[in-house]
Amino acid sequence: MATDLLRRFTEVARSNPGVPAVMGPDLCLSFSDLDLLSDRAAAIFTRAGDAGILQGEMPYSIDTLPVIGFYHCRSARHVVAAVGAAKAGIPYMPLGCDWPDNRLKAVRGNCRMCLLVCDKEGMSVSGWGGETPVVYTNDLFGAEKVVSAWSRVEMRDVMRARYGDMPPPLYVIHTSGSTGTPKGVALPHDGICANFVGSRGMPGFSAGKRVLYGGALTFDLSIIELWISLLNGCTLVLTPEETLLDAHSLKMHLKKWEINTAAMPVSVMSALAAQDESVFSGLEVLIFGGELPNKGRIEKIMRACPGIVMNNSYGAAETCAVAAAGNISLPLPEGPLAVGKPFGDAELLVVDDDLAPLPAGQVGELLIGGPGVGLGYINDPERTARCFVIDPRSGKRCYRTGDMAYLQPDGRLVLVGRRDAQFKIGGKRVDPDEISSAVMRQPCVSNVHVAFVRGDYPTIVAYVVAHGSAFGMEPGIFAENLRKALAEELPAHLVPGHILVVESIPLTAHGKVDQKRLPAPPAVKPSSSGGDVCAAFQAVLRSEAFSENDAFFDHGGTSLLAAQLIAVFRSVFQVAVPFRLFSHPRTAYVVRLFIENARMNGPAAAGSGAGARLLPVRGTGLNAQDELTVKI
């Protein structure tokens, strides 16, 4: 085998052949199944290389790196493809199935994509895939025997020929980029193995544990969930998004599948706990990170879920996702909540502007070192040189996080903010310059400033100066047209929830944007049409224009906002609204009907009663396939 990661996977698979590696409603794969099927996938991927797809001067550099694009949904097939790509020695790159074609085209154009792995059903790449060869995930489960080319050679020699002195890359993940194009960073095989295997690994990932597997494939946490589980003999339990963001459904799912461990961003954890603080009571371990947690929320969860181990983690996509972690216990300490100590073989260093180390207690920029440090940004040598620097103490490479922090005397890390304007939504890092660049590409815009508004419903606000044919246009129409244009370039979580037209961007005497002089997003005055239900949608979307007949996801709605609305409806009406209703084209209308029927049929309609029965909601004007049911 070529790397410690592959050796470890083979050891686990051969020691636990009958143990489920991945399971879901329709399929269960044992470690033996996964080992054999990933051999097949490796053979298919390698055969593509033998056909000339991987031709080029070797060893490859970070800028000429061949990658396999993964454009498919989360499934057992994805797990097979990920392990197969690792065995083939070709890094894989998750692509969002909900990304606009323009973004997919930009990502493909910025790297050397040698192959696309797609689901056959409903996955078209004609608009952006170019001439890239396509393999369908169904083919990875074919019956015929495929002789694996990679198994007939010494992979260490192959890896050395391909990558020279560069550590073999395992995957490429994209983060928000200031140039307007997401930046891809390559992460090494052995960074995963060094940090996440054995007793030094994360709590809750010992052999035989069942792990919730439901994050977006483009989110670095999803990649870590996959590999930390497989390398420690755990079972991945496939979890659909509508279950992951609905506390009632998730609570039943955790119980049904006897899930032990879950990891999720702070925002998702908080949205679920707002629906039901005991939602995690079936878990042994809950790992959270990505954003600064609310201590009050953490304490409520721990009191509602006695015995649960809660682990606060921190890291960056550029360093294999987790660099520090620590368990939390009650009573919570006074002051800020530390994120723990260095994790695995990671090294933490707080430095001043000259990269000189600072003593404990002094605030500076956080640097992360160790084997999990990424190999650099693809086709961006300037950013690579700026962000991946040499540790002045050890002479080793480390990553400049841009996070401001200090170390406590006992070595635990405390975060205090950013040195730049970046922020996080749903655990995903957002560079406002990426949004600004997309806005400035529109012909109707002469200037823009992007800001992040915190609060109960955090949102992105774009302050826009219009020009040309758009000058003098009614602001609401202009904002709606601009939002539609941005949706063609940016994923949903990057499209501003509020677009305000201003005459100019105010500046301070020093030429900086004067945040105090920017208008606050106007308070929403809910429409009386549709009552309190529609008003809740308007408040969360920050849009008075949203009506009962509008589609939630077409008006800036996201999965996380849907989860927050579920919490609102549960609190106000004592009704558990199913996540699936938020996909209906007349969202507020069907949600209102659901709530009215549920309340009319008694408190058990909130979804908490055993032996509940279903009543149809009729007379709604919906098609037969849209007929709703109310749990009572």
- Is the bond leading into 331 cis (omega within 30 degrees of zero)? yes
Number of independent structural domains in the chain: 3
- Contact yes or no for 267/425 (Cβ under 8 A): yes
b (16+ CB within 10 A) / e for 242-281: bbbbbbbbbbebbeebebbbbbbbbbbbbbbbbbbbebbb
Mean pLDDT is lowest, of 128-137, 228-237, 267-276, 561-570, for 128-137
Q: Residue 564 maps to which CATH number?
A: 1.10.1200.10
Q: How far apart are CA 39 and CA 106, in angstroms?
A: 31
| Measured CA distances, 187 to 92, 184, 274, 474 (Å) | 10, 10, 35, 47
The predicted model gives 132-147 an average pLDDT of 76
Q: Residue 552's domain spans which residues?
A: 531-631
Min mean pLDDT across 293-302, 493-502, 507-516 is at 507-516
Same domain, residue pair 490 and 540: no
Q: What is the mean pLDDT of residues 61-69?
A: 90
Give the per-residue pLDDT at 123.
66
80 and 145 share a domain? yes
**What is the β-pairing status of strands 324-328 and 309-314?**
antiparallel
pLDDT category at 619 given cuts 50, 70, 90 is very low
How much is the pLDDT for 307? 94
- Which residue, 517, 542, 575, sits at the end of a domain? 517
* Secondary structure string (H, E, C) spanning 52-94: HHCCCCCCCCCCCCEEEEEECCCCHHHHHHHHHHHHHCCCEEE
Q: Which of 166, 187, 222 is the last residue of a domain?
A: 166
Task: Kindly state whether residue 96 falls inside one of the protein's structural domains.
Answer: yes
Considering the domain architecture, whether residues 546 and 499 belong to the same structural domain is answered as no
Residue 29 has pLDDT above 60, yes or no: yes
- In this prediction, residue 161 carries a pLDDT of 78
CA 513, distance to chain mean position in Å, is: 30
What pLDDT was estimated at residue 618? 37
Asked whether residue 80 falls in the same domain as residue 156, the answer is yes
Whether 176 shows a pLDDT value over 80: the answer reads no
Residues in the chain: 632
- pLDDT of 468 reads 65
The CA-based angle 224-229-235, given to 5 degrees, is 135
Using the predicted structure, report yes or no on whether residue 631 has a pLDDT greater than 60. Answer: no
Q: What's the pLDDT tens digit per position in 550-564?
A: 999 888 888 888 988
* CB proximity list for 295: less than 8 A, separation 6 or greater: 332, 337
Using pLDDT thresholds of 50, 70 and 90, give the confidence band for residue 175: confident
- What is the Cα–Cα distance from 261 to 618, expressed in whole angstroms? 40
pLDDT tens for 321-362 read 889 999 999 998 888 889 989 888 899 999 998 888 999 989
Establish if 122 belongs to a structural domain.
Answer: yes
Amino acid at 20: P
Does one domain contain both 512 and 559? Answer: no
User: Which tokens is 230 given?
Assistant: 């497989």
Residues 575 and 487 occupy one common structural domain = no
The stretches of 89-213 forming alpha helices (DSSP H) are: 101-109, 155-163, 189-196
- As given in the structure block, the two tokens for residue 450 are 């992007």
Query: What percent of the chain stands above pLDDT 70?
Result: 86
Lookup result for tokens 């949600």: 591
Give me the mean pLDDT over the 594-601 stretch: 87
Domain boundary among 147, 166, 185: 166
Same domain, 503 and 549: no
Do 468 and 568 fall into the same domain? no
pLDDT mean over 122-130: 73
Q: Please give the C-alpha separations between residue 40 and each of 34, 150, 223, 535, 559, in angstroms, as whole numbers.
A: 10, 10, 21, 53, 35
* Token couple for 616: 């149809």
pLDDT score for 469: 62
Q: Are residues 610 and 508 in the same domain?
A: no
pLDDT in tens, 208-239: 999 999 988 999 999 999 999 999 999 999 99
Q: How confident is the model at residue 201 (pLDDT cuts 50, 70, 90)?
A: low
The answer to whether the beta carbons of residues 466 and 473 sit under 8 Å apart is yes
| Statement: residue 320 has pLDDT above 70 | yes
**Strand 235-238 relative to strand 210-213, pairing:** parallel
Give the list of residues 6+ apart from residue 159 with CB closer than 8 angstroms, or none.
2, 3, 89, 168
